[in-house]
């Protein structure tokens, strides 16, 4: 029996992880493709009068087997992959792309949608039905359904090849990251590193059959190592490993792949009648076009770069006899923070055990939205690190299942993200969502829990905001539910939640020493408050550099042959100082070359304008102001894409968003 081929009989319809085997995936995937194709063919051949119900609603109900397979597969291939899953990814990606192109380029389906669309004003549709009709019509037009057959054929080939290239890009990066190891064999070379990091490195070395300590060039390990290690040459070695991932001229090099993806995307959108990929990609966002994106980046760049240069001068002055390099920034910034504010991550981390921070996030959601999280230790899970929770309303109504997968491991890709094993919908009956947050926090050791830095706390609250967006969704149609919103809006529900994660009153509630259980002191909180915009020039500059690099790749009308030369020219043109690297360089910029953020990495800053402006309501009215919290739930977290998101934001805030709120928050306002 293949578990994917019928509805799951597990509690709440959770995937039966223990019974699903890799050999089940591809046969079920192929059967899912066939089922959905037959369902679309039935819609195409329906001779009854075209209605919303027998067209759009029928499409929304289709593909149940495929949804089960893909939600399971893509979650596992990101969070707990292996060679077998990686190979399946190579097989599934291009085939899925061809299938989706077949559906989206169906003349018969589009004729039905277009028939309804041209008569939409007379159909007496609900607001959500009208939204779905307009969104689907737009999706089909942008997919190329109106193109002649020869161009449709070429477009399908392009999309299939892009899909294959994205899989290769991801797998190259994961293999390069796991191979990029700093091996330390002398105990004196560990000076300055926190004990839990040392223990984790020892465990990793032991698992690889090596003596000493192994440090992987992952983002989490990198920042902690560069902040703590007193040895300049070791900081430089790990930093070099990190920034050269997939850029070493070997079989896992991503330079040519990046150029190939960019070239294919350009051909794709030119077939569709656009000048550049950025024009195409941004058309359906809040920004609408590249000029508005660049205007935002330019507005922030001048004060951010000026502040970064002042920060660099301070850091260089701390050791004027030594050359100051990019790999030194974190170390000297931490020394400067200790000097100016008498504060270090080492002093704060004992108060930030991962379970305490998680429970703090849960408490915020309970006070804002009246929901509670009940741990379940008996539900199916795909890895022993995973924790699961029921999410319930005040009246005990179950609204979702929430998984957290917090700790780094070699089988997990880098970064942090939210995804779903099943999205919310209510087309026939209320289907509760099954949501997962995946992070790469340091794992617990034999004598201490996982201890987080303030940056980790920000990440946890950020991803929790995404999770709430999925859990609190109240849409009828799955295509409009949860996080299915414009890309430069999707980060707003996550980023506004970060504000509670750094609020001193909230911190006082959950930040307790993992050994002594005493609450974090007002003295430490005062220091944290004072360091709120510390090093903000650096943080903003490295982000802006990545955003400009992304935009530059997708505003091209002719793709370069040398990705590194192109990247260098872009960063020189914006005036990036050499001691700061782009947060993501081309060969490991998965957001834009292997995920859904092509021409969209600016979205985090665009959404921060919304979150800075939106959170000011709570600053004015109170941290848990009841009416404002209800508006936040109804107009932001629950509504998904059922209405225009800018209209929803203006209804929530009472006015259009203002960039000045972001500048003030980052310490750049006059």
Q: How far, rounded to the nearest angstrom, does the alpha carbon of residue 171 sit from its chain's CA centroid?
A: 18
Selection from 520, 442, 517, 510 nearest residue 195 by Cα: 442
Selection from 477, 530, 409, 529 nearest residue 128 by Cα: 477
N- to C-terminal Cα separation, the chain? 66
As a whole number of angstroms, the distance between CA 180 and CA 200 comes to: 16
User: Quick one: tokens of 494?
Assistant: 């996550």
Q: Strand 434-441 and strand 398-407: pairing? A: parallel
As a whole number of angstroms, the distance between CA 304 and CA 309 comes to: 9
As a whole number of angstroms, the distance between CA 312 and CA 306 comes to: 10
409 touches 388 (CB < 8 A):
no
Q: How far, rounded to the nearest angstrom, does the alpha carbon of residue 380 sit from its chain's CA centroid?
A: 24
Selection from 89, 196, 249 nearest residue 445 by Cα: 196
Half-sphere exposure of 588 (CA within 13 A, CB side): 25
The angle subtended at Cα 74 by Cα 73 and Cα 75, nearest 5°, is 90
Half-sphere exposure of 475 (CA within 13 A, CB side): 29
Q: Across the strands, what pairs with 551?
A: none
Q: How far, rounded to the nearest angstrom, does the alpha carbon of residue 431 sit from its chain's CA centroid?
A: 24
Q: How many CB atoms lie within 10 A of CB 72?
A: 23
541 touches 668 (CB < 8 A):
no
Q: Could you give the C-alpha distances from 360 to 352, 356, 437, 500, in angstroms and in order?
A: 10, 6, 15, 9
Q: How far, rounded to the nearest angstrom, does the alpha carbon of residue 620 sit from its chain's CA centroid?
A: 30
Q: 36, 135, 176, 463: which is the annotated catalytic residue?
A: 463
As a whole number of angstroms, the distance between CA 241 and CA 562 comes to: 21
As a whole number of angstroms, the distance between CA 622 and CA 616 comes to: 10
User: Quick one: tokens of 331?
Assistant: 């170390």
User: Quick one: tokens of 612?
Assistant: 């800075």
CB neighbour list of residue 601: distance below 8 Å, 6 or more residues apart: 546, 547, 550, 551, 584, 589, 591, 592
User: Quick one: tokens of 272?
Assistant: 């569709």
551 touches 290 (CB < 8 A):
yes
What backbone torsions phi and psi does residue 173 show, to the nearest 5 degrees? -65, -45
CB neighbour list of residue 473: distance below 8 Å, 6 or more residues apart: 423, 424, 433, 481, 482, 637, 638, 640
Q: Across the strands, what pairs with 419?
A: 436
Element (H, E) at 373: strand 372-376
As a whole number of angstroms, the distance between CA 448 and CA 425 comes to: 41
Active site residue 463: yes
Q: Strand 398-407 and strand 372-376: pairing? A: unpaired
Selection from 565, 586, 552 nearest residue 247 by Cα: 586
315 touches 333 (CB < 8 A):
yes
User: Quick one: tokens of 342?
Assistant: 């008498």
418 touches 405 (CB < 8 A):
no
Selection from 78, 66, 13 nearest residue 36 by Cα: 66
Q: Which residues are catalytic?
A: 463
């Amino acid at each position: 029996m293949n578990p994917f081929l019928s509805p799951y009989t597990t509690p709440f319809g959770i995937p039966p992880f223990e019974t699903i085997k890799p050999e089940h995936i591809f046969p079920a995937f192929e059967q899912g493709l066939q089922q959905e194709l037959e369902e679309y063919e039935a819609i195409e051949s329906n001779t009854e009068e075209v209605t919303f119900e027998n067209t759009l609603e029928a499409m929304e109900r289709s593909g149940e087997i495929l949804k089960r397979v893909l939600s399971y597969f893509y979650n596992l291939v990101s969070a707990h992959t292996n060679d077998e899953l990686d190979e399946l990814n190579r097989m599934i990606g291009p085939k899925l792309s061809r299938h989706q192109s077949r559906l989206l380029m169906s003349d018969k389906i589009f004729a039905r949608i277009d028939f309804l669309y041209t008569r939409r004003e007379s159909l007496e549709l609900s607001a959500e039905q009208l939204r779905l009709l307009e969104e689907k019509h737009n999706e089909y037009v942008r997919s190329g359904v109106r193109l002649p057959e020869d161009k449709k054929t070429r477009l399908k080939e392009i999309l299939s090849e892009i899909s294959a290239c994205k899989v290769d890009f991801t797998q190259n990066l994961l293999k390069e990251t796991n191979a990029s190891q700093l091996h330390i064999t002398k105990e004196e070379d560990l000076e300055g590193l926190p004990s839990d990091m040392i223990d984790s490195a020892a465990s990793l070395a032991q698992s690889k059959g090596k003596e000493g300590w192994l440090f992987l060039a992952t983002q989490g390990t990198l920042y902690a190592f560069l902040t703590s290690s007193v040895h300049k040459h070791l900081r430089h070695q790990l930093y070099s490993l990190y920034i050269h991932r997939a850029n070493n001229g070997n079989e896992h090099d991503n330079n040519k792949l990046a150029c190939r993806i960019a070239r294919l995307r350009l051909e794709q959108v030119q077939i569709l009648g656009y000048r550049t990929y950025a024009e195409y990609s941004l058309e359906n966002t809040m920004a609408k076009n590249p000029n508005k994106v660049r205007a935002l980046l330019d507005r922030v760049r001048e004060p951010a770069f000026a502040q970064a240069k002042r920060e660099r001068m301070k850091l260089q002055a701390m050791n004027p006899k030594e050359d100051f390099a990019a790999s030194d920034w974190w170390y000297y910034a931490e020394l400067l923070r200790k000097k100016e504010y008498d504060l270090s991550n080492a002093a704060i981390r004992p108060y930030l055990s991962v379970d305490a921070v998680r429970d703090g996030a849960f408490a915020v959601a309970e006070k804002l939205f009246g929901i509670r999280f009940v741990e379940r230790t008996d539900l199916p899970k795909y890895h022993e690190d995973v924790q699961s929770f029921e999410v319930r309303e005040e009246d005990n109504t179950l609204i979702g299942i929430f998984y957290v997968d917090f700790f780094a491991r070699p089988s997990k890709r880098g970064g942090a993200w939210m995804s779903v094993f099943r999205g919310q919908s209510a087309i026939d009956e209320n289907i509760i969502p099954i949501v997962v947050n995946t992070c790469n926090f340091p794992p617990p050791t034999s004598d201490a829990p996982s201890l987080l830095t303030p940056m980790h706390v920000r990440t946890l609250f950020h991803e929790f905001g995404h999770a709430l967006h999925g859990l609190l969704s109240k849409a009828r149609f799955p295509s409009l539910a949860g996080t299915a919103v414009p890309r430069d809006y999707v980060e707003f529900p996550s980023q506004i939640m970060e504000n509670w994660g750094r609020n001193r009153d909230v911190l006082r509630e959950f930040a307790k020493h993992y050994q002594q259980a005493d609450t974090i002191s007002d003295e430490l909180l005062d220091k944290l408050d004072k360091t709120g915009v510390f090093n903000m020039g650096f943080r903003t500059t490295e982000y802006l550099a990545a955003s400009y690099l992304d935009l530059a790749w997708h505003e091209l009308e002719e793709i370069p042959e040398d990705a590194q030369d192109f990247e260098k020219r872009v960063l020189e043109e914006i005036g990036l100082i050499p001691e700061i690297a782009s947060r993501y360089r081309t060969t490991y910029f998965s957001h834009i070359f292997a995920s859904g953020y092509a021409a969209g990495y600016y979205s985090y800053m665009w959404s921060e304008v919304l979150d800075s402006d939106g959170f000011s309501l709570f600053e004015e009215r109170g941290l848990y102001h009841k009416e404002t919290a209800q508006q936040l739930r109804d107009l932001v977290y629950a509504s998904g894409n059922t209405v225009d998101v800018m209209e929803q934001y203006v209804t929530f805030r009472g006015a259009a968003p203002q960039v000045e709120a972001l500048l003030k928050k980052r310490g750049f306002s006059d």
